[in-house]
Amino acid sequence: MLRFRLGLRCAACALISSLLSTSTTVAQITIDANFDSGSLKSYSVTRAAINLVGRDSYAFGQHPLGGDHWRWMYFKATGVLNTNPTFSVAGEFGGDNTDYPPTLANHELADHEMVYSYDGVNWEFFPHANNTLQNIGDGNSANDLFTFNLGSNFTQNEVYVAYAIPYTYARSTAHTQKVIASPWATPTASGNANGVIGQSPAGVDDIGRSIPALDLYAYRITNPATDSATPKHRVMIATGQHASETLGIYTYEGLVDWLISDDPRAAALRDKTEILGYPTLNASGRYAGLNRSMLQWQNTDSNGYWYPNAVSSSDYVSPQRTEQMINGEAMRADKAATPGAVTDLFLDFHSSVPDYNIAGPNGEGGGGRDDWGYITNNAASLNNPWWLALKELQPNLLEETSGTTAASKTLTGFALGFLNAQMSVTLENQFGISRPISFYQDYGKNVGLAMYEAWIRVDNPLAADFDEDGDVDAGDLAAWKLGFGTLSDAQHYQGDANNDGVVDGADLLVWQRQFGGTSPPIAIPEPTGVLQLFTGLMFMSLLWYQSHRRLLLKHELQLAPT
């Protein structure tokens, strides 16, 4: 009996020790948001939950600075290994002006999934099934409560948590240097050798953190060998105006990555098009973890001050809005630095909280919501070849008409009024659809492919016109060389002249015969001795590859067990 009692006492001690250990582990969780794009006002930890107080910064109309609401959130939690805490955020979410005040059915967090990452690079979504949205519609938004958890233990000691997949200022800097290192990009006329067009002013954010001055960037993408006195198509692209709208920045990144890629279609576009890019419209706000405002003016939306002349304080010169002025004046100078009076296309990349009024049968989000483009409500814009091509390439994209004019003080209005843009578009990505980064990067690629299809691609290209720009030239040989060795499912642009799904010497022979030809074809010149030698070498390479492959297969069959 004594032994039994001692056993019970030991078991009880072990249980108490285990509970105390668990409680201590959770209590040791610490949170930090003092880094690039980080955003959190305060927090507290209990045994079962991490209680978060969101950053109160300017969101929109009825959500000015000081309104006790939250939107952008990004922090690192340490001490979470083998724990599954519930995160709770009290107070009103800083939505937009649509459907306000919100109900449970149309609340901007109804479909939303927060994200987490162990390394700050690879992101996953918290399961929607574990979310709760409480006290909505009780007449007091201060009682609102949003909770989320993983549903299983974290497998590492540190985890990053954010409202949406972050895009830091540091990533923009690194990406800019990658772009400028490409043979197809240079700093613009307004920038220095590193692409720097100026700096944001240093300052103190709404929670007392010192934010340093930050470089602002711009670059020009084109094939410099085709520059001449003849104007090229001109495209101007910009992003990051609203600091927390990160999905639009990923779409911008996907476009730029494709523009400087080896894709023969991108090469053909570069031959006849210049793209001027501005990736850091609001470097200070992004670094400081703000929502829609800039550090210098933390209680206004910068997208209402794009005007270069002093008028009723609705401009960027009086009082001075430094980052806007630097970017705006750089755009004007860069446009004037190359031939041509017009800008064929201006694109401003944004993201949006869920908007249940912008939906359609092709929308893939809840209620048919999805990404959209604000298109000026006139026939020229609605039927613009680039826009029509983009909608074909990106079927989920919705169309929303805009009343923007050259007098509007938005960035797209600035483009119409001061950059002579023939088409000026805001592209919006809706939050709350839980898509990976790759989706937005592919979308960006399609934005570029739509330019290629609208301006470069011809209807009936010759078989050897692999980039389908209307002539058979060295660019097509480069496309064939890039695709050579593709053994299945090859596309025409990869160098498949005879439509057999393979890129080989036979396709090179077609290019050799059609070199110099245009659509419709013209007389075919005789091949030179050098070209014949090159053709022979390619055939020899292919024959060696095929024979070597057969020998390997035979050897594998001989070694196979019987």
Q: Is 428 annotated as catalytic?
A: yes
Q: Taking a C-beta distance cutoff of 8 angstroms, is the pair 476, 260 a contact? A: no
Structure tokens at 279: 């990736």
Residue 506 phi, psi (nearest 5): -65, -35
Closest to 363 (Cα-Cα) out of 428, 419, 418, 315: 428
Q: How far apart are alpha carbons 516 and 508 in whole angstroms?
A: 14
Between the alpha carbon of residue 178 and those of residues 169, 172, 175, 185, 271, the distances in Å are 14, 10, 5, 9, 20
Environment class of residue 432 by beta-carbon count within 10 Å: exposed (0-12), middle (13-18) or buried (19+)?
buried
3-state SS class at 28: coil
Helices (H), 273-321: 283-288
Residues, the chain, total?
Answer: 562
Beta bridge partners of 162: 74, 115
Catalytic hit among 253, 274, 323, 428: 428
Buried-exposed string 182-214: b where 16+ CB fall within 10 A, e elsewhere? eebbbbbbbbeeebbbbbbbebebbbeeebeeb
Q: How far apart are alpha carbons 199 and 220 in whole angstroms?
A: 19
Q: Which amino acid is at 387?
A: W
Which residues does the annotation mark as catalytic?
428
